[in-house]
C-alpha cells in the first residue's frame, strides 16, 4: 500500500469522524428561507448578565440562515445610565431579517429615578398587547415558507424574542397567566424566546421546552461600575 493511499484513507476517516465533516466554517450570502425545526419555547432567567445577549445571539444566528426574527423589548426605555440608542439597535438595523421595537418607559420600575410606576404598568400592558398581535399574526402566516427579510413583522416572523417580559411579570406589571397565554396562543412553527427576571419563573416549568438560569458569580456593578457602552448597551 502506498503512503499516498494511506494518507487519503486517513483524511477520509478524519473528515467522516469530525463534526462538520472536516469542512472549514464559512460565511455565505443571506437569503430568505424557512426554518426546519422551529417552534419551541425558550426561557432565559437569572441574576447574571447575558440573558438579552444570549437571545440576541440566537436572533443573529437565525437571520444568518435567512429566517425572520423580531425582538420586542419590555421595560428597556431610557435611563440616566445609558444612551438613548443601544448598540443592539444599530446592529439589528444592519442585519437583514431582524427587526425590533421597544415598549419600555424611562427609568426602571420601583426605582427612585423619577419615573412613575403607573407609566411602567401602562407600557408593559401595551407590550403584552403587542406581543399578542405579533403571535396572532404569525399564526396567520405560513411559517413553513420563507418570509421576506425586510417584511413587516405583522406579516409573520419565525422567531419572536420577548426581552424582559419575565421581569415585567415578576414585578407585577403583567400577570404570569398572561405569559402562559402567549405560549398557549403561539402557532407551532414560531420559536418564542422569553428573557428576564432574577426570580425563578416556576410557572413556566411545564410550558417551556428550554429553561436556562444565568447565574451571577461576580459582577462589576456590585463594585459601583456603571453600565458600559458596548457591553451593557
DSSP E strands in 32-188: the ranges are 41-45, 69-73, 98-102, 159-163
Residue 173: CATH number of its domain = 3.40.50.300
Per the structure, how many domains does the chain have? 1
- Domain annotation covers residue 15: no
Confidence of residue 14 (pLDDT cuts 50, 70, 90): low
- Domain annotation covers residue 118: yes
- Domain annotation covers residue 180: yes
Q: What is the mean pLDDT of the chain?
A: 87
Q: How many CB atoms lie within 10 A of CB 64?
A: 15
Distance (Å, rounded) from C-alpha 183 to C-alpha 171?
Answer: 19
- Domain annotation covers residue 47: yes
What is the rounded (10 degree) CA torsion for 102, 104, 107, 108? -120
| pLDDT tens sequence across 27-39 | 889 999 999 999 9
DSSP reduced 3-state for 157:
coil
User: Residue 73 has what pLDDT?
Assistant: 93
Distance (Å, rounded) from C-alpha 172 to C-alpha 105?
Answer: 15
| pLDDT tens sequence across 61-72 | 999 999 999 999
Query: Are the beta carbons of 51 and 45 closer than 8 angstroms?
Result: yes
- Domain annotation covers residue 10: no
- Domain annotation covers residue 4: no
Confidence of residue 176 (pLDDT cuts 50, 70, 90): very high
Q: How far is CA 150 from CA 64, 94, 98, in A?
A: 14, 11, 8
Confidence of residue 5 (pLDDT cuts 50, 70, 90): confident
User: Residue 106 has what pLDDT?
Assistant: 46
- Domain annotation covers residue 30: no
pLDDT of residue 111 exceeding 50, the answer is no
Q: How many CB atoms lie within 10 A of CB 188?
A: 9
pTM across the whole model: 0.85
Sheet with 159-163, edge to edge strand ranges: 98-102, 69-73, 159-163, 191-195, 41-45, 210-213
Percent of the chain with pLDDT over 90: 65
- Domain annotation covers residue 112: yes
pLDDT of residue 137 exceeding 90, the answer is yes
Q: What range defines the domain where residue 187 resides?
A: 37-223
Amino acid at each position: 500500500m502506498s503512503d499516498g493511499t494511506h494518507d487519503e484513507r486517513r483524511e477520509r476517516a478524519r473528515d467522516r469522524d469530525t463534526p462538520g465533516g472536516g469542512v472549514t466554517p464559512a460565511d455565505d450570502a443571506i437569503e430568505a428561507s424557512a426554518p426546519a425545526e422551529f417552534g419551541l419555547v425558550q426561557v432565559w432567567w437569572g441574576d447574571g448578565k447575558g440573558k438579552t445577549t444570549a437571545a440576541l445571539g440566537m436572533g443573529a444566528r437565525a437571520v444568518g440562515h435567512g429566517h425572520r426574527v423580531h425582538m420586542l423589548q419590555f421595560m428597556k426605555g431610557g435611563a440616566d445610565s445609558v444612551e438613548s440608542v443601544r448598540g443592539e439597535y444599530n446592529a439589528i438595523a444592519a442585519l437583514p431579517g431582524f427587526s425590533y421595537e421597544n415598549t419600555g418607559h424611562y427609568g426602571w420600575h420601583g426605582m427612585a429615578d423619577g419615573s412613575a410606576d403607573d407609566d411602567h404598568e401602562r407600557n408593559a400592558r401595551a407590550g403584552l398587547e403587542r406581543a399578542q398581535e405579533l403571535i396572532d399574526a404569525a399564526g396567520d402566516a405560513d411559517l413553513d415558507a420563507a418570509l421576506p427579510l425586510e417584511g413587516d413583522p405583522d406579516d409573520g416572523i419565525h422567531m419572536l424574542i420577548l426581552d424582559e417580559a419575565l421581569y415585567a411579570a415578576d414585578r407585577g406589571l403583567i400577570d404570569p397567566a398572561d405569559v402562559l397565554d402567549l405560549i398557549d396562543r403561539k402557532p407551532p412553527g414560531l420559536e418564542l424566546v422569553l428573557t428576564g427576571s432574577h426570580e425563578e419563573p416556576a410557572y413556566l416549568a411545564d410550558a417551556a421546552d428550554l429553561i436556562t438560569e444565568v447565574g451571577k458569580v461576580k459582577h462589576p456593578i456590585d463594585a459601583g461600575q456603571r453600565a458600559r457602552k458596548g457591553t451593557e448597551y
